[in-house]
Amino acid sequence: MYQTPTVIFDADDTLWHNMNLFVDTHQRYAGLLQPYFTDIEALELRLNETERKNIKHFGYGIKGFTLSMIETALEVTQGRVGGDTIQAIIDLGREMLGAPVELMPQMAETIETLAQQYPLGVITKGDLLNQETKFARSGLSAAFKFFEVVSEKDAATYLRVLQRHGLEPEGIIMVGNSLKSDIGPILTLGGRAVHIPYEVTWVHEHMELSVETTGSDRFKVIDSVAHLPTLLSDW
């Protein structure tokens, strides 16, 4: 007997833009440190290394990123960076937290259409308060049955969340921009996944799927969420 699948979305860079904020902040951060450290490429590498190291302590999100910017600034300048610059870095983080929620093109219309046909959910990672605030401000929340913020998106975490909502992996379709966090774990569990690539991929989310995976009938790629209703109805 056919059962209507539950369609689960990632949030950042799937429902709404997120990486553009980080790209802009990276550029402004490099400008703040120009008086102390002029090698922008080396600064970027150091910041990425610090972020990677700090994820296990601070988790994902803007607050952890802000702390990593401060730590990197202190390290590359051997502590010479001034208090005014540290304050400016904190202000960058605060600006990011308060930035408007910019939905992907045609997202609102697509979610409205899908909500009439499928149960919808969100599983995302990041800072709980920030993600809940963005979700509330997005104007999309009424269409979703559940909204989950997790510290990591791996197969074990997905399985726990699905079980909490009485769902089996075979009965869900995951939609997201990250092969590492949104697509790979769900395919591992036996579910279906739709990849909508974003224009920028965070360095810590890079991953390649095997030829066997990309050729699976459980994996689809589309270039716009506007194509999702047709894809789901034909699948």
One fold for 6-16+102-234 and 19-97: no
Architecture of domain 6-16+102-234: 3-Layer(aba) Sandwich (3.40)
Q: Residue 59: its pLDDT value, please? A: 85
Assign 185 a pLDDT band (cuts: 50, 70, 90).
very high
Assign 1 a pLDDT band (cuts: 50, 70, 90).
very low
Rounded CA separation 153/174 (Å): 12
Query: Is the predicted pLDDT of residue 216 greater than 90, yes or no?
Result: no
Q: Residue 214: its pLDDT value, please? A: 60
Reduced to 3 states, what is the DSSP secondary structure of residue 12? strand
Q: Where are the domains of the chain?
A: 6-16+102-234, 19-97
Q: Residue 2: its pLDDT value, please? A: 57
Rounded CA separation 232/131 (Å): 27
Is 14 in contact with 176 (CB distance < 8 Å)?
yes
What are the tens digits of pLDDT across the range 81-116?
999 999 999 999 999 999 999 999 999 999 999 999
* Residue range 19-97, CATH number: 1.10.150.240
Query: Is the predicted pLDDT of residue 206 greater than 60, yes or no?
Result: no
- Residue 17's nearest CA partner among 102, 96, 133, 140 is 102
What are the tens digits of pLDDT across the range 30-42?
999 999 988 899 9
Q: Residue 129: its pLDDT value, please? A: 93
